[in-house]
Amino acid sequence: MTDKLDILVVEDDAALRDAVGLTLELAGHRPVGVDGGPAALAMLERQAFHLVLTDLRMEPMDGLQLLAEVRARLPQLPVLLMTAYGDVEKAVSAMRGGACDFLMKPFEPQTLLEHIRRYAAVPDERADTIAVDPVTRGVLAMAARVAETDATVLLTGESGTGKEVFARYIHGHSARADKPFVAINCAAIPENLLEATLFGYEKGAFTGASQAQPGKFEQADGGTLLLDEISEMPLGLQAKLLRVLQEHEVERVGGKTPIALDLRVLATSNRDMASEAAAGRFREDLYYRLNVFPLAIPPLRERPGDVIALARHFASIHGARLKRGARLAPEAESMLATYPWPGNVRELENTMQRAQILAVGELITAETLAMCLPQWTPGAGVGRPEVASLPAGFAAGAAVPAAQSSPARSGNMKDLEREHILDTLKAVGWSRKKAVARLGISERTLRYKLQQYREEGYPVE
């Protein structure tokens, strides 16, 4: 095995802990040993790991309690249990609680290493995959594990979180990596063209069809097809899609001969798909067909460790494109770390592009950044450690300083995001075009958010 893994070993028996650590070190891994659950949780706050290897019987926190805590904090992080023969029943309970597997003591070093290889996945450190925060590394580890299979994956999360990046990651780590990766945005193509785009058409199938054309399914044959924003697909077309997924064959518009397919399907949505299906806006049978392996992509505010790394990455990319080399000043990075990023990674990238355009000299300063984020006032509260303690004027910027008169702000991120969006709209006279430019989000996302606020009873013009 050539992949080096960071493994947290939790064992209160010092001799066994050292023996396991030595086995892992000799195999080229980087183990960190701690003597119990509390120490393990403290270590997980400080460092990212690929896998937790823990004993089951410990005091004062046993392996089951530690498992529950890890699942609550880092749900994608694999947990492997070590247990004695008499604790098999507890180990089975742990499996139901989310453990990936358990090892019966005593075990051979090769058995341990085989379990490590099977369950711990190494996130790729390629330029398009920034994974500094433990939450992101956990999601990538899960993506790498499902990539080894042909399972259909439904990636969900807010707009701008990078769902397509994770989808490409899955394709790139699969056996189909050297085959086509074809993506289609189901929301961007008019309903009357979507069927022909997906399934292809024969010559003469409709006016203008002067020659036969393969659809996206055929183009992705052998590889991976990404159905982006699948929740926007019309109900009538969903039934045809379901048949293609069930039968593994497609029939072109105007055609009569089914074409066999060998491909993997990934789908994304920024909606709660279970709620969409329950409300009748999405076929329930199709939802279950797509939701074989659900992968939730957390919003950027829930993986703050990625913010600075992503900002530097985007600053470098756009600096090269613009033939500028400005880098982030420390105070600018502190400012980025305290901003809630309602537009997620997409908003952060847009901000870095604007910052490179506006930067004077070799540094992107806090003042430059303030111009890129209009909701910040110059010199206000740069570098505060808590997102909830945002600077005065955060919600509306210099033009609408009403937030300055109410220092007791809610720490709830959804409330802050709503206030931020609505106050920005007020500041631009309710012009959606101007608002999306300031917010760094798409107009479709803004419409979706406003509809949510109406349904929750907030006044929206």
The architecture (CATH level 2) of 301-455 comes to Orthogonal Bundle (1.10)
Q: Give this prediction's pTM.
A: 0.62
Q: Are 59 and 12 in contact (CB under 8 A)?
A: yes
Phi and psi at residue 23, to the nearest 5°: -60, -45
> At which residue do the structure tokens 């183990």 appear?
31
Q: Report how far apart, in Å, the C-alpha atoms of 288 and of each of 186, 194, 274 are.
A: 18, 22, 9
Distance CA 95, CA 77 (A): 14
Domains 6-119 and 301-455 are alike in CATH topology: no
Distance CA 229, CA 226 (A): 9
pLDDT in tens, the chain (461 residues): 346 788 999 999 999 999 999 999 999 899 999 999 999 999 988 887 889 999 988 988 988 889 888 877 777 678 898 887 666 666 666 666 677 778 888 888 999 998 888 777 555 555 457 888 888 888 888 898 899 899 999 999 999 999 999 999 999 999 999 999 999 999 888 877 898 999 998 888 887 777 888 999 999 999 999 999 999 999 989 999 999 999 999 999 888 899 999 999 999 999 999 999 999 999 999 999 999 999 999 999 999 989 998 999 899 888 888 888 789 998 899 889 889 999 999 999 999 999 999 998 889 998 889 888 866 544 343 333 333 333 333 332 323 233 333 333 333 456 667 877 888 888 888 888 888 777 767 777 778 788 878 877 787 76
- b (16+ CB within 10 A) / e for 107-118: eeeeebbebbee
Domain ranges for the chain: 6-119, 134-298, 301-455
Superfamily of domain 6-119: Response regulator (3.40.50.2300)
Fold assignment, 134-298: Rossmann fold (3.40.50)
